[in-house]
Amino acid sequence: MLRSCLFADEAFSSVLFSSNPIAMDKKVISFEEFLAQAKASGGAELANCHLFIERLCRHLELPEPALSTEENRHNDYVFERRVDFKHPDGSRTPGRIDLYKRDCFILEAKQSSKRPATQASLPRLPEDHAQIKRGQAARGSRRWDKVMDAARRQAENYARALPVEHGYPPFLLVLDIGNELQVFADFSGQGKNYTHFPDRSSFRLSMDDLLEPAVQERLRLIWTDPQALDPARYSAQITQDIAERLARIALRLERKHDPHDVASFLMRCLFTMFAEDVELIPDHAFENLLGKMVTDPKPLRPRARRPLGQDGQRRVRSGHQQDPQTVQWLAV
């Protein structure tokens, strides 16, 4: 019996003092259930903002915000990060960022209502109407668009009010709790051109979008390594990789051919790829030709003249290329 009591006491203590914040929950809900609960909420930004973000971080295994300290200079990843708006007369106005992570993002949160205030399923008593939280605006309405635009401008103002040594974060996040997350980015470090990220067609993330692995990975990078999402860095990596591959090809060809001829050959190949990209020749024509050459390596010169065709030759001559030999030898 003593052993049983000791075991029960040990088990109780392990739960009570567990470092896992989910251990105390009666039921650990799935990410889908969490998002369903979030979508069902509405009209209570102050009540739901921190809870939503903390649980989102937990489910996506993102680092969670730290406790705020008395010394504001140490508050690099906190809720309600204080900033000061400086005015021309020397005065200052305080402001608070809903969630700030230095060198990563500023998040400004709102919460809309799920339906217009004029709609109601059943008549309500006057005292009941006071218990209904309307939120910033009804989702999908023109006022909602204005609220989200204003939230973006507010986040931009917060970015300008940050200490100089912090610089401008690469991302601005505008969150409508339980409805949508909008993502804007400026990788220049100047904070003057926060644009839709990754583009205008996909910068808005619904709660259902958050279930997609690619979107989750994007959020993880925004939280932990935002510069990895910089398109310029990706393009530079691709350019470097292509340059290294071309260098290896050139070295192999120069073993049996004149270096000048090899350089001319590779330049023609690159220009043909460009012509394919801008639709001077049919899509994938040169790529398909090279694919056939792998299994049927006949002389490339007479076969490579054909993909351009008479129409392509005329279009090239009328545009950037005037040399007939260059047109004739466009592919190789």
**Residue 111 and residue 48 in contact, taking contact as beta carbons nearer than 8 Å:** yes
CA dist., res. 167 & res. 172, Å (int): 13
Please name every residue paired with 198 in a beta bridge, in sequence order, or none if there are none.
none
**Cα-to-chain-centroid distance, residue 296:** 44
> Looking at the chain, how many residues does it have?
332
Range list of β-strands (E), the chain: 77-86, 92-101, 105-110, 171-176, 180-185, 195-196, 204-206
The single-letter code of the amino acid at 286 is F
Distance (Å, rounded) from C-alpha 264 to C-alpha 250?
11
Contact 96, 158 (CB under 8 A): no
Query: CA triplet 179, 183, 188: central angle to 5 degrees?
Result: 170
Nearest to 191 by CA among 232, 157, 225, 231: 157
Instruction: Give me the amino acid identity at 169.
Output: P
Q: Looking at residue 8, what is its pLDDT? A: 47
332 residues of the chain, pLDDT tens digit each: 444 444 444 444 444 444 454 444 556 899 999 999 999 987 788 889 999 999 999 999 999 999 999 999 999 999 999 999 999 998 999 999 999 999 999 999 998 876 554 444 445 555 544 454 555 678 878 899 999 999 999 999 999 999 999 999 999 999 999 999 999 999 999 999 999 999 999 999 999 999 999 999 999 999 999 999 999 887 777 778 888 888 898 899 888 889 898 888 888 888 888 888 888 888 888 888 878 777 776 655 555 555 455 555 555 455 444 443 333 334 43
Domain ranges for the chain, please list them.
13-225, 232-328
Phi and psi at residue 239, in whole multiples of 5°? -60, -45
Tokens of 234: 């990706």
Residue 3 has a pLDDT of 47
In terms of phi and psi (left: phi > 0; alpha: psi -120 to 50; beta: otherwise), the region of 277 is alpha
Task: Report how far residue 145's alpha carbon sits from residue 182's, in angstroms, rounded to the nearest whole number.
Answer: 12
* Structure tokens, 2: 């003593």
Q: What is the pLDDT of residue 144?
A: 92
Smallest Cα–Cα separation from 113: which of 50, 177, 209? 177
* CA-angle at 242, arms to 238 and 247, nearest 5°: 150
Measured distance CA(229)–CA(213) in Å, rounded: 16
Model pTM above 0.75:
no
Report residue 10 as tokens. 């040990």
DSSP letters spanning 162-196: S-GGG---SEEEEEETTTEEEEEE-TTSS-S--EE
DSSP secondary structure of 189-241 = SS-S--EESS-TTTSEEETTGGGSHHHHHHHHHHHH-GGGG-HHHHHHHHHHH
- Note the pLDDT of residue 274: 84
